[in-house]
């Protein structure tokens, strides 16, 4: 079995920060792999090393069989990358952008034209292809950049927070697009994100990264299984006493615990979805009327909390130079 | 090749999408010409001079007549007849007069006897520029009297005459044209080429093309070529426009040979400055720094280039800088081609320097460029 990506003991240190701390993992061809972590976890650093933009302090990374330090030029030819920031030129049109990038890869004119038409169609920008990117919405711009990353038909697509800053609707469009691309082009996809739902709805396997370390790696299901917390069903009932209901519930074999909190029964079970009808039917049988049900399934959030001891943070402020904004060399700032 | 051309095209397209920048790049140097031409006029005008005639002889009349001619013609001076020497000197001190010319009692007689004639010229030395101009204008005018009326043998007694302009047909506005063109080139090279790298770096866009197979040569040479195209066209435009408003019809003055030579000088100057910008801006990541640096560099390169004041009059250290300043050679060559009809022979030194400078600057520029984050 050949690996699309093989990372071995990768370390990246900036002056005081260890952005990546002995990271190792492999991604097989055809996988949809997610790297989930909060801001500052080291996701972008890892992506930049894998895509030849920065050199690791130590360790090894091989992409499509090519060492990312020794074979930079070759690596660039076989990967398609969507950087975290929006990187399309505002004063070019969508069509020009794709054409120019096609030429950066040396794709002959005929093939380029065919490919561009196809991609524009797929990302839904055919109608707007001749408009300046400056006139695009954030979601459109992102879709154009995904098309751009695929212009040379790479077999590996690497996306750094593809839906960062997009509204929910655009986010779903992008997800749909990525699923479609993976199916029809047999792509291997590596995606980083700090959105739980994104990793959960797209990725086969997910690595959780925090402070430069991979703290867990498995399928979404597998990760959830590792977490001792269960699904929780909250029930509100009338007609019969809560005590009676509690006593009955506790006799059920799949139930781990049942407690009364205020006017609500909190039932902890392994598989919430399967237990809901059982509970409702049983309570009805006892003469109760169920007025409210809330099912709280385990999420990657719980997984994240389990492995890191805290919820995924939203924003971590980054120091910017006080001398001249972004103007001071990176060495001095941060 | 296809990749490199794509870099050129990307840059040119982006440039053309900013018509305001194009317009400003052309208009600004031309406005410079007008402002500089009017604020640093070659010949001063209306300098008030008091004349005290104590001779009242024929030659005194001649002198005064000449001075009136100077007033009516170029308008350099404005004559005020004052009878009393003391009053005139008071006026000089108070600043009412910039100079006082005293024609002594025996002036006419001395001339007729072949003695050295002597005039007293008192100048307000607090204003060196007008003092110098006055001295030259008055000695010039008097020199002509001697030529008109005196036998050859008295020539030795004539104060030597310095000409205001070396090439008389060129008036001051026109002589600024080479400087204006080089300024257009400077502005062009500062806002194309390496500046696009700074902008891409600032906007974080560079990452996207660093991810492609583009090499550092593709990137630097591509930006260089698009910068060269843009700047050359701008400079030719500015040359044409500034010539036109200062009354030179290029199509009448220039031969095809001259035009080609002019273009070669513009291209070489542009390449050199583009390379220099790549060296200077190679690692800058904020356009604000470019703004600050640009204003500074423009002055640093422009004024010591001989575009306005002749290099010969600089102190030694500034002369030293002028010798390594590429703009010096550009200005020299442009001036020679435009006003003296120089051929390649006359400017080959300039071409050699500019070529060497361009090659060296480009090479260092490519080396300084870091293809990576
Ligand atoms: N150029 C740099 N210089 C110094 N520190 C950096 C640099 N780039 C990133 N870092 C630090 O490395 C850590 C990981 O950053 P990053 O990879 O951007 O995280 P993420 O993409 O997961 O948000 C952060 O603490 C960040 O501040
Ligand atoms: Mg990031």
Contacts of A147 (CB under 8 A, 6+ apart): A98, A119, A120, A122, A123, A125
Tell me which residue of A228, A192, A189, A226 sits closest to A210, measured CA to CA. A192
Considering the domain architecture, whether residues B142 and B289 belong to the same structural domain is answered as no
Does B30 map to a domain? no
Considering the domain architecture, whether residues B259 and B279 belong to the same structural domain is answered as yes
Mutate to test the interface with A, among B199, B212, B216 (most CBs of A within 10 A): B212
Is the pLDDT at A330 greater than 60? The verdict is no
Q: Give mean pLDDT, residues B303-318.
A: 83
Q: Which tokens sit at B120?
A: 């007293």
Q: A57 CB under 6 A from ligand 1? A: no
User: Burial, B297: exposed, middle or buried (Cβ in 10 Å; 0-12, 13-18, 19+)?
Assistant: middle
The CATH number covering residue B75 comes to 3.40.1710.10
Q: How confident is the model at residue B349 (pLDDT cuts 50, 70, 90)?
A: very high
Considering the domain architecture, whether residues B212 and B350 belong to the same structural domain is answered as yes
C-alpha distance across the termini of chain A, in Å: 41
Torsion region of B320: left, alpha or beta (phi above 0 gives left; psi -120 to 50 gives alpha): alpha
Considering the domain architecture, whether residues B270 and B222 belong to the same structural domain is answered as yes
- The CB density around residue B61, as the number of other CB atoms within 10 Å, is 14
Q: Give mean pLDDT, residues B221-227.
A: 95
Considering the domain architecture, whether residues B94 and B156 belong to the same structural domain is answered as yes
Question: Would you say the ipTM is above 0.85?
Answer: no
Residue with tokens 């794509």: B6
Position in ligand 1 atom list of the atom nearest CA A47: 17
Considering the domain architecture, whether residues B182 and B107 belong to the same structural domain is answered as no
- By the CB criterion, residues less than 5 angstroms from ion ligand 2 are A 43-44, 84
Torsion region of B51: left, alpha or beta (phi above 0 gives left; psi -120 to 50 gives alpha): beta
Is the pLDDT at B309 greater than 50? The verdict is yes
Q: How far is the CA of A227 from the centre of ligand 1 (A)?
A: 29
Tell me which residues of chain A have a C-beta less than 8 Å from any C-beta of chain B: 48, 51-54, 73, 76-77, 79, 81, 83, 85, 87-89, 91-92, 96, 100-101, 103-106, 132, 145, 148, 324-327, 329
Taking a C-beta distance cutoff of 8 angstroms, is the pair B329, B178 a contact?
Answer: no
Q: What is the CA radius of gyration of chain A?
A: 24
Which pLDDT score is estimated for A104? 96
Question: By mean pLDDT, which of A86-95, A180-189, B334-343 is the weakest?
Answer: B334-343
**The dihedral formed by the CA atoms of A146, A148, A152 and A154, expressed in degrees to the nearest 10:** -20
- The CB density around residue A274, as the number of other CB atoms within 10 Å, is 11
pLDDT digits (tens, 9 = 90+) for B209-222: 999 999 999 999 99
Position in ligand 1 atom list of the atom nearest CA A48: 17
- Nearest CB to B207: which of A53, A89, A91? A53
Q: Give mean pLDDT, residues A297-303.
A: 80
Largest Cα span, chain B: 92
How many domains is chain B partitioned into structurally? 2
Q: How confident is the model at residue A307 (pLDDT cuts 50, 70, 90)?
A: confident
Q: How confident is the model at residue A1 (pLDDT cuts 50, 70, 90)?
A: low
Name the closest-CA residue to atom 18, ligand 1: A44
Taking a C-beta distance cutoff of 8 angstroms, is the pair A101, B212 a contact?
Answer: yes
Q: How confident is the model at residue B32 (pLDDT cuts 50, 70, 90)?
A: confident
CA dihedral over B93, B97, B99, B105, signed as positive or negative: negative
Does B14 map to a domain? no
Is the pLDDT at B352 greater than 60? The verdict is yes
Helix or strand run (H / E) with residue A225: helix A220-226
Does B342 map to a domain? yes
d(CA B330, CA B182): 7
Considering the domain architecture, whether residues B86 and B158 belong to the same structural domain is answered as yes
Considering the domain architecture, whether residues B320 and B176 belong to the same structural domain is answered as yes
Is the pLDDT at B75 greater than 80? The verdict is no
CA dihedral over A11, A12, A14, A17, signed as positive or negative: negative
Which pLDDT score is estimated for A69? 95
Tell me how long chain B is: 373
pLDDT digits (tens, 9 = 90+) for B198-207: 999 999 899 9
Domain boundary among B165, B187, B213: B165
Q: What is chain A's mean pLDDT, rounded?
A: 88
pLDDT digits (tens, 9 = 90+) for A92-130: 999 999 999 999 999 999 999 999 999 999 999 999 999
Q: A39 CB under 6 A from ligand 1? A: yes
Q: Which tokens sit at B307?
A: 């575009």
- Nearest CB to B13: which of A73, A79, A92? A92
Does B328 map to a domain? yes
d(CA B6, CA A145): 18
Contacts of A74 (CB under 8 A, 6+ apart): A66
Which pLDDT score is estimated for A163? 92
d(CA B255, CA B134): 39
Tell me which residue of B318, B310, B313 sits closest to B167, measured CA to CA. B310
Q: How confident is the model at residue B166 (pLDDT cuts 50, 70, 90)?
A: very low
Is the pLDDT at B159 greater than 90? The verdict is no
**The dihedral formed by the CA atoms of A310, A61, B202 and B15, expressed in degrees to the nearest 10:** -140
Contacts 24+ apart (CB under 8 A), B99-102: B99/B47, B99/B48, B99/B49, B99/B50, B99/B123, B99/B124, B99/B131, B99/B134, B99/B138, B100/B49, B100/B50, B100/B51, B100/B52, B101/B49, B101/B50, B101/B51, B101/B52, B101/B67, B101/B138, B102/B52, B102/B54
Does B26 map to a domain? no
- Nearest CB to A326: which of B209, B213, B286? B286
Considering the domain architecture, whether residues B340 and B225 belong to the same structural domain is answered as yes
Domain boundary among B116, B136, B165: B165
Q: How far is the CA of A106 from the centre of ligand 2 (A)?
A: 29
User: φ, ψ for residue A158 (rounded to 5)?
Assistant: -120, 125
Which pLDDT score is estimated for B153? 36
Considering the domain architecture, whether residues B268 and B152 belong to the same structural domain is answered as no
Q: Give mean pLDDT, residues A172-198.
A: 91
Does B211 map to a domain? yes
Q: Which ligand is nearest to the CA of A41?
A: 1
Does B348 map to a domain? yes
Helix (H, G, I), strand (E, B) or coil at B356: helix
A233-271 burial: b if 16+ Cβ within 10 Å, else e: bebebeeeebeebeebbeeeeebeebeeeeeebbbbbee
Domain boundary among B129, B149, B165: B165
Helix (H, G, I), strand (E, B) or coil at A187: coil
Q: Give mean pLDDT, residues A294-304.
A: 82
pLDDT digits (tens, 9 = 90+) for A30-45: 999 999 998 889 999 9
Considering the domain architecture, whether residues B121 and B222 belong to the same structural domain is answered as no
d(CA A279, CA A235): 9
d(CA B288, CA B284): 10
Is the pLDDT at B158 greater than 50? The verdict is no
Is the pLDDT at A304 greater than 90? The verdict is no
User: φ, ψ for residue B133 (rounded to 5)?
Assistant: -60, -45
Higher pLDDT, B130 or B287: B287
Query: What residues make up the domain containing B199?
Result: 172-368
Considering the domain architecture, whether residues B225 and B352 belong to the same structural domain is answered as yes
Name the closest-CA residue to atom 21, ligand 1: A44
Higher pLDDT, B269 or B107: B269
Does B34 map to a domain? no
- How far is A49 from chain B, CA to nearest CA, in Å? 11
């Amino acid at each position: 079995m050949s690996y699309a990506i093989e990372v071995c003991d990768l370390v990246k240190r900036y002056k005081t920060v260890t952005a990546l701390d002995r990271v190792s993992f492999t991604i097989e061809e055809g996988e949809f792999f997610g790297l989930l972590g909060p801001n500052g976890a080291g996701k972008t650093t890892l992506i930049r090393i894998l895509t030849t933009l920065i050199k690791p302090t130590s360790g090894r990374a091989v992409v499509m069989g090519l060492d990312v330090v020794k074979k930079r030029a070759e690596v660039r030819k076989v990967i398609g990358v969507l950087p975290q920031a929006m990187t399309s030129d505002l004063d070019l049109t969508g069509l020009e952008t794709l054409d120019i990038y096609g030429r950066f890869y040396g794709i002959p004119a005929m093939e380029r034209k065919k490919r561009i038409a196809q991609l524009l169609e797929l990302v839904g920008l055919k109608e707007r292809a001749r408009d300046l990117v400056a006139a695009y919405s954030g979601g459109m711009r992102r879709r154009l950049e995904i098309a751009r990353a695929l212009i040379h038909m790479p077999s590996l697509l690497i996306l750094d927070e593809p839906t960062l800053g997009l509204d929910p609707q655009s986010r779903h469009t992008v997800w749909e697009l990525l699923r479609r691309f993976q199916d029809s082009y047999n792509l291997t996809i590596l995606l980083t994100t700090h959105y739980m739902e994104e990793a959960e709805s797209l990725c086969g396997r997910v690595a959780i990264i925090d402070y430069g370390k991979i703290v867990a790696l498995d399928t979404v299901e597998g990760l959830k299984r590792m977490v001792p917390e269960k699904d929780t069903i909250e029930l509100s009932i009338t007609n019969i006493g809560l005590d009676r209901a509690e006593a009955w519930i506790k006799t059920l074999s799949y139930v781990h615990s049942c407690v009364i909190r205020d006017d609500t029964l909190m039932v902890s079970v392994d598989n919430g979805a399967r237990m809901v009808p059982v509970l409702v039917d049983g309570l009805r049988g006892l003469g109760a009327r169920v007025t409210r049900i809330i099912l709280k399934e385990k999420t990657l959030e719980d997984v994240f909390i389990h492995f890191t001891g805290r919820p995924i943070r939203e924003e971590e402020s980054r120091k910017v130079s006080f001398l001249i904004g972004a103007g001071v060399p990176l060495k001095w700032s941060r | 090749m296809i990749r490199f051309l794509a870099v050129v095209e990307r840059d040119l397209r982006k440039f053309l999408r900013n018509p305001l920048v194009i317009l400003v790049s052309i208009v600004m140097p031309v406005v410079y010409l007008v402002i500089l031409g009017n604020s640093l006029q070659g010949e001063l005008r209306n300098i008030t001079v008091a004349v005290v005639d104590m001779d009242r002889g024929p030659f005194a009349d001649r002198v005064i007549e000449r001075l009136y001619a100077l007033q009516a013609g170029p308008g350099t001076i404005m004559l005020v007849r004052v009878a009393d020497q003391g009053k005139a000197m008071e006026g000089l001190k108070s600043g009412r007069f910039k100079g006082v010319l005293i024609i002594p009692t025996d002036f006419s007689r001395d001339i007729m006897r072949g003695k050295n004639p002597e005039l007293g010229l008192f100048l307000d030395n607090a204003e060196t520029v007008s003092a110098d101009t006055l001295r030259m204008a008055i000695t010039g005018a008097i020199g002509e009297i001697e030529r008109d009326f005196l036998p050859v043998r008295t020539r030795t007694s004539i104060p030597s005459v310095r000409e205001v302009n070396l090439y008389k047909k060129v008036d001051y506005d026109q002589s600024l044209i080479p400087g204006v063109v080089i300024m257009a080139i400077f502005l062009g090279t500062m806002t194309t080429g390496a500046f696009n790298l700074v902008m891409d770096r600032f906007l974080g866009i560079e990452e996207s093309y660093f991810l492609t197979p583009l090499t550092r040569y593709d990137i630097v040479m591509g930006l260089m070529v698009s910068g060269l195209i843009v700047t050359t066209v701008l400079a030719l435009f500015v040359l044409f426009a500034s010539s036109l408003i200062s009354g030179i019809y290029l199509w009448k003055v220039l031969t095809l040979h001259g035009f080609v030579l002019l273009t070669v000088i513009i291209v070489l100057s542009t390449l050199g400055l583009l390379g220099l910008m790549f060296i200077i801006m190679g690692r800058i990541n904020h356009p604000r720094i470019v703004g600050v640096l640009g204003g500074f560099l423009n002055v640093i390169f422009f004024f010591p280039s001989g575009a306005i004041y002749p290099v010969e009059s600089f102190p030694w250290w500034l002369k030293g800088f002028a010798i390594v300043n590429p703009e010096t050679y550009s200005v020299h060559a442009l001036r020679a081609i435009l006003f003296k009809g120089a051929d390649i022979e006359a400017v080959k030194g300039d071409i050699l320097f500019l070529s060497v400078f361009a090659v060296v600057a480009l090479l260092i520029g490519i080396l300084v460029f870091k293809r990576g984050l």
